[in-house]
Amino acid sequence: MAFAIPKTSYTGKIKEVVLGKGPKAITVGGETSYPFHLFEGEMPHSPRIAIEVYDAPPDDWSEAALEPYKDVLNDPVAWARKAAEAYGADMIALQLVSTDPNGLNTPSDQAMETAKKVAAAVDIPVIVNGSGNPEKDAEVLRKVAEVCDGMNLVLGPVVVENYKQVGAGAIAYKHTLAANSPIDINLAKQLNILLGNLGVPDGQIVVDPTTGGLGYGIEYTYSVMERDRMAALTQQDERLQFPIVCNLAKEVWKTKEAKMGDSELMGNAAKRGILMEAITAQLLLLAGTDVLVMRHPEAIRLVREMIADLTA
């Protein structure tokens, strides 16, 4: 008797969401099985990689992380173009970190202009992330939504404290929202329900579950994402059937292991940081993410090889 692989029966499907506009717009989602279980269902769209671009030169990156971008750190437009042209980014993830009220507190009008220039400079989809301060992000992302009318940016992080303001801008100017919750499946579902009640179409929502880096809570993130996909695909929970985006690079490269230099115990610093980012990305792919926000080109190369192997 021939061996038959046991197969899970899926009754749900991840919604498809289009990111960006024009010929290089990207469709994510559409899975009808657990991640890379191609023997059980379909994964019509391979996971995509967005490369980070900061709106101000970072002052806390390791030398290994700075090296690929050292010639463009003062110009987010040039940085975005390099990420797209030299490193083949599928998307750009503009991080408006300078708007943080506890940092440089860049005015929202200035951040808006930066976002507009970056989005206009590349022909691939753009994610625009605020600083993580809910009040300031509401102001900044509303203005970005208006000035980039119809460009279908991904705006985030959208949280319970500001979903009404940012959601209204997404509806009016046709953008996608990255609904962010603190590694909790129930809070993720609640925010998706709130956005739906506000009137945001399902085709304009992706989920940002929050993630930790390797060794810093990644197992908790993995577990929550796994539960999300189980509920979406086997329990027909429609408010969890959304593509997932993981903003992982900043979590990996802020760790002490990624920042410390060469040592006899820890080995080469650059190789260590690259592998930490690549392994974190790999774990998140296996948990079900559709978009990875990454930093180092070599880590991205390793992850692309893995995606190719798993989808071959």
Q: State pLDDT tens for residues 116-144.
A: 999 999 999 999 999 999 999 999 999 99
- Report helix, strand or coil for 114: helix
pLDDT at 227: 96
The answer to which of 15-29, 173-187, 251-265, 290-304 has the lowest mean pLDDT is 251-265
Interatomic CA distance for residues 193 and 215, integer angstroms: 32
DSSP 120: H
- Report the pLDDT value the prediction gives residue 217, as an integer from 0 to 100: 86
Q: Distance (Å, rounded) from C-alpha 310 to C-alpha 206?
A: 23
Spatial separation of the C-alpha atoms in residues 199 and 14, rounded to whole Å = 20
Cα angle vertex 208, ends 204, 211, to 5°?
170
DSSP 132: S
Q: Residue 87's pLDDT is what?
A: 98
Q: Measuring CA to CA, which residue among 169, 109, 97 is closest to residue 138?
A: 169
Task: List the domains of the chain with CATH numbers.
Answer: 22-311 (3.20.20.20)
Could you give the CA distance from residue 305 to residue 115 in angstroms, rounded to a whole number?
31
**Element spanning 224, H or E:** helix 218-234
The number of residues in the chain equals 312
pLDDT at 5: 83
pLDDT at 1 over 80: no
pLDDT for res 29: 98
Read off the pLDDT of each residue in 199-224 and give the average, rounded to a whole number.
95
Whole-prediction pTM: 0.96
Across 183-205, average pLDDT: 97
The distance from CA 157 to its chain's CA centroid, rounded to whole angstroms, is 10
HSE-CB for 64 with a 13 A CA cutoff: 24
Comparing C-alpha atoms, which of 36, 30, 83 is closest to residue 284?
A: 36
As given in the structure block, the two tokens for residue 148 are: 């980039």
* Rounded average pLDDT over 214-234: 94
Angle at which helix 185-198 crosses helix 163-173, to 10 degrees, equals: 50
